[in-house]
């Protein structure tokens, strides 16, 4: 039997047989007019490399770690990378006796370019905000470190299992896994992740993006531009301390016994000449830019009326240009930007920004 290897696959591959190891296997439900269904996706590998796959049909006995022989599969290019497809015509034959050493190749990424399309990656950057915790698995105490990984394009949450890492050092981490949680990407690694301490490189204080570059979730980036639309339901809102929902009523309809508090909230569209993006800003960035203190938001004796706040927000945000630092996340309506800090642009910065490609309007 002639078997083809992963590094020889391309879009023209037809009528071949391949033997691969199922490195990961995730089940996903689909809903369409035709009804509900289930498909699987993940990563397969052999001695020559790895490749993502989608299985529209897969025998229920197949598990992660199994070595399988595949016949009648297809290979297509999807988002610039090759992907193997299994469907109802594909034969999947379990080979329980086979052992396979998979050659892992991890493409190197800048944080801003990470996507779920390539789930095993190499990223280099600075480790900060390390929190070490213990957890129990199969009756054993295990260590996990939660931290931030930062490079010159962005930052991302990173969880490392059974791996020790030092804060404020720079590392190259090979074989991290990309996943998504609540619209934001995160990385995780374990004892199979290769970790190398590297020389420090420069990380700019602000990672300035043009809006057209924000095509996926990325944390801690800076956008500059003009607010072109300000949502009218923002401003001073009453919020329930239990569920944090805002309401115009005196009490929360769901939690009538819960305390209410005054909060600030704004949503707007930011435009920079390269694109626009919907943004939200909460209490902290707004208090800062509006020069409002906690005691000014006393529920019984508020210093400002709803209208005062709307005027203040308009005066602060509309003239622009401004500098917005925050996190881009993806949701059902596409990419949005959660603002954590709003700053005015200084004259020298205006000149500096005007030299950046894509920032010609500034």
How many chain residues interact with Zn ion (CB under 5 A)?
Answer: 6
Smallest gap from residue 248 Cβ to Zn ion (A): 13
Q: What count of other Cβ atoms lies within 10 Å of the Cβ of residue 214?
A: 20
The token pair that represents 102 in the structure block:
């998979």
Inter-axis angle of helices 283-290 and 306-317, nearest 10: 80
Smallest gap from residue 299 Cβ to Zn ion (A): 15
Give 104 or 255: the residue with its C-beta nearer to Zn ion. 255
The token pair that represents 181 in the structure block:
């949680």
Smallest gap from residue 260 Cβ to Zn ion (A): 9
Smallest gap from residue 161 Cβ to Zn ion (A): 36
Q: What is the DSSP string of 237-304?
A: EEEETTT--EESSSS-SS-TTS-EEEEEEEEEEEE-SS-EEEEEE-HHHHHHHHT--GGGG-SSS-SS
Per the DSSP assignment, residues forming a β-bridge with 236 are 264
Give 249 or 360: the residue with its C-beta nearer to Zn ion. 249
Smallest gap from residue 182 Cβ to Zn ion (A): 20
Smallest gap from residue 239 Cβ to Zn ion (A): 8
Q: What count of other Cβ atoms lies within 10 Å of the Cβ of residue 141?
A: 8
Give 256 or 319: the residue with its C-beta nearer to Zn ion. 256
Question: How far is it, in rounded angstroms, from Cα 54 to Cα 33?
Answer: 21
Q: Which residues contact 357 (CB under 8 A, 6 or more apart)?
A: 210
Question: How far is it, in rounded angstroms, from Cα 121 to Cα 116?
Answer: 10
Q: Give yes or no for a contact between 144 and 197, defined as CB atoms under 8 angstroms apart.
A: no
Binding mask 234-273 for Zn ion (x = CB under 5 A): ------x-xx--------x-xx------------------
Smallest gap from residue 250 Cβ to Zn ion (A): 12
Question: How far is it, in rounded angstroms, from Cα 83 to Cα 332?
Answer: 25
Give 200 or 243: the residue with its C-beta nearer to Zn ion. 243
Give 260 or 286: the residue with its C-beta nearer to Zn ion. 260
Give 240 or 339: the residue with its C-beta nearer to Zn ion. 240
Q: Which residues contact 280 (CB under 8 A, 6 or more apart)?
A: 265, 266, 267, 336, 337, 338, 339
Burial of 99: CB neighbours in 10 Å, binned 0-12, 13-18, 19+: exposed
Smallest gap from residue 241 Cβ to Zn ion (A): 8
Give 242 or 296: the residue with its C-beta nearer to Zn ion. 242
Q: Give yes or no for a contact between 53 and 110, defined as CB atoms under 8 angstroms apart.
A: no
Give 118 or 242: the residue with its C-beta nearer to Zn ion. 242
Binding mask 181-220 for Zn ion (x = CB under 5 A): ----------------------------------------
Residues of this chain that interact with Zn ion (CB under 5 A) are: 240, 242-243, 252, 254-255
């Amino acid at each position: 039997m002639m078997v083809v290897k992963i590094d020889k696959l391309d879009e023209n591959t037809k009528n071949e047989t391949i033997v691969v190891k199922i490195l990961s296997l995730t089940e996903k439900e689909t809903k369409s007019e035709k009804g509900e269904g289930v498909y699987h996706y993940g990563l397969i590998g052999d001695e020559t490399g790895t490749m993502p796959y989608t299985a529209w049909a897969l025998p229920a006995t197949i598990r992660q770690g199994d070595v399988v022989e595949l016949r009648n599969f297809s290979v297509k290019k999807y988002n610039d990378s090759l992907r193997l497809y299994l469907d109802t015509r594909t034969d999947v034959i379990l080979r329980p006796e086979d052992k396979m050493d998979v050659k892992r190749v991890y493409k190197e990424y800048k944080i801003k370019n990470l996507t779920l399309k390539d789930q095993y990656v190499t990223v280099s950057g600075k480790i900060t905000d390390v929190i070490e915790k213990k957890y129990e698995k199969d009756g054993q105490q295990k260590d996990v470190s939660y931290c931030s990984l930062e490079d010159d394009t962005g930052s991302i949450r990173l969880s490392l299992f059974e791996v020790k890492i030092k804060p404020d050092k720079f590392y190259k981490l090979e074989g991290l896994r990309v996943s998504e949680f609540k619209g934001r990407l995160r990385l995780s690694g374990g004892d199979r992740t290769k970790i190398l301490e590297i020389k420090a490189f420069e990380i700019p204080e602000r990672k300035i993006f043009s809006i057209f570059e924000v095509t996926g979730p990325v944390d801690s980036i800076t956008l500059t531009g003009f607010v072109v639309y300000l949502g009218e339901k923002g401003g001073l809102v009453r919020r329930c301390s239990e569920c944090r929902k805002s309401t115009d009523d005196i009490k929360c309809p769901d939690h009538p016994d819960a305390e209410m508090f005054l909060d600030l909230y704004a949503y707007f569209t930011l435009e920079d000449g390269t694109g626009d993006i919907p943004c939200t800003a909460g209490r902290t960035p707004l208090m800062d830019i509006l020069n409002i203190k906690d005691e000014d938001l006393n529920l019984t004796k508020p210093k400002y009326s709803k209208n005062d706040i709307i005027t203040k927000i308009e005066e602060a945000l509309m003239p622009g240009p401004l500098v917005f630092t925050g996190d881009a996340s993806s949701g059902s309506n596409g990419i949005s930007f959660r603002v954590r800090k709003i700053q005015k642009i200084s004259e020298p910065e205006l000149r500096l920004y005007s030299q950046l490609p894509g920032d010609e309007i500034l």
